[in-house]
Structure 1
Amino acid sequence: MDITRAKDIYDSKDKIAVHLDGEPVWIEHVDTDNGMATVQVGSRPTNTQTVGVDRLEEQGH
């Protein structure tokens, strides 16, 4: 995924399925300057990771 699409998904009101290494995640923050995103893994809000947006995959695309 590129940084523009990650930002679009973050800003969207729609529920858009995103996966990291096959696991569903929610985008919590997008760092456009560094090409990074903070994502929540699973259903626990404290389980977050900061990863390169190129590791994120939009399901259905």
Structure 2
Amino acid sequence: MDANRVKQILSSSSDIEVRYNGASVWIDNLNADGRTATVHLRGPLEERSEVGIEDLKEF
């Protein structure tokens, strides 16, 4: 995924499914470097991780 698409997803009111390593995640924000994002798993766990946006896949 590229930084522009991450920004579009963040500003969208739609529920857009994004996966990281096969797991469904919410994107919390695009980090200042424009190459990483903070995400957390969909569901009850809210552990946040910083991941490379190239590893995010839209479904």
User: Taking structure 2 as the reference length, what is the TM-score of the superposition?
Assistant: 0.88
1:48, 1:29 → 2: CA distance? 11
Residue identity over aligned pairs, in percent, reads 34
Q: CA deviation at 1:37?
A: 0.6
Match of 1:9 in 2: 9
Partner of 2:39: 39
Which consecutive segments of 4 or more residues in structure 1 shift more than 6 A? none
Give the secondary-structure state (helix, strand or coil) at the position aligned to 1:15: coil
Where 2:51 maps in the other structure, the secondary structure is strand
Structure-2 residue corresponding to 1:50: 50
Deviation at 1:41, TM superposition (A): 1.4
Unaligned runs of 5+ in 1: none
Aligned to 1:20: 20
Q: Is the 8 Å Cα contact of residues 25 and 40 (structure 1) preserved in structure 2?
A: yes
* CA RMSD in angstroms, aligned pairs only: 1.2
Q: How many residues align?
A: 58
